[in-house]
Structure formats: C-alpha cells, structure tokens
Amino acid sequence: MTLALPSVWNIVISTIVFFVAVWYFNRWLNEQGIPKGMTRGLAVFVLAYLVAWGSGELVDWVVGPQPQVEVSQDASRLLKQLGEMQR
C-alpha cells in the first residue's frame, strides 16, 4: 500500500491562503452587515478551508507527482483491522 504525502509547498501555501481567506471573508461579511455569531464563524471557516484546500491541490498539481511512501504489511494489516472495528 502506498500513500502520497502533500508537498511542503502545499502545506505552506495553503496555510497562508487559509488566513488570508479568513480575513477576506470576515471583511466581506462585515461590509454586508451580517452579525458575528457561530453560524457566520462556521461559514467563514468552511469557505476558508475550501479555498485553502483548493490552493494546496493546485500547488501539488503544478509541482508534479510526489514520492510515494511505502507502508509495511504490518501497518497495512493494522489499518484494515481499524477499519473493520469501526463498522
């Protein structure tokens, strides 16, 4: 079993984009006159997360394929057992 890890650029860029998106969405919602609350906070978080995730995927697409990590048979068997336990 192989797992593809995100690149370091993905993590750095998506983190920066997340905070910029939070600032931008909060500013935009303030201009619209929408009051602060839990629903607005959750909406800002979800929107910023989606923008950050998309930017990270775009970075990985531009950078190209990353080295894959080989998972040992023991780890693979453990993951299968954990999946069966959750069912």
- Mean pLDDT over each residue of the chain, to the nearest integer: 86
- What's the length of the chain? 87
- With H, G, I as helix, E, B as strand and everything else as coil, classify residue 6: coil
Domain range enclosing 22: 2-86
What type of residue sits at position 4? A
Q: What is the count of structural domains for the chain?
A: 1
Q: What contacts 4, CB < 8 A, 6 or more positions away?
A: 65, 66, 68, 69
The pLDDT tens digits for 31-56 are 999 999 999 999 999 999 999 999 99
Give yes or no for a contact between 18 and 53, defined as CB atoms under 8 angstroms apart: no
What is the pLDDT, as a whole number, of residue 83?
A: 80
Give yes or no for a contact between 5 and 66, defined as CB atoms under 8 angstroms apart: yes
Tally the C-alpha atoms within 13 A of residue 45's C-alpha that lie toward its C-beta. Answer: 7
The structure's pTM equals 0.70
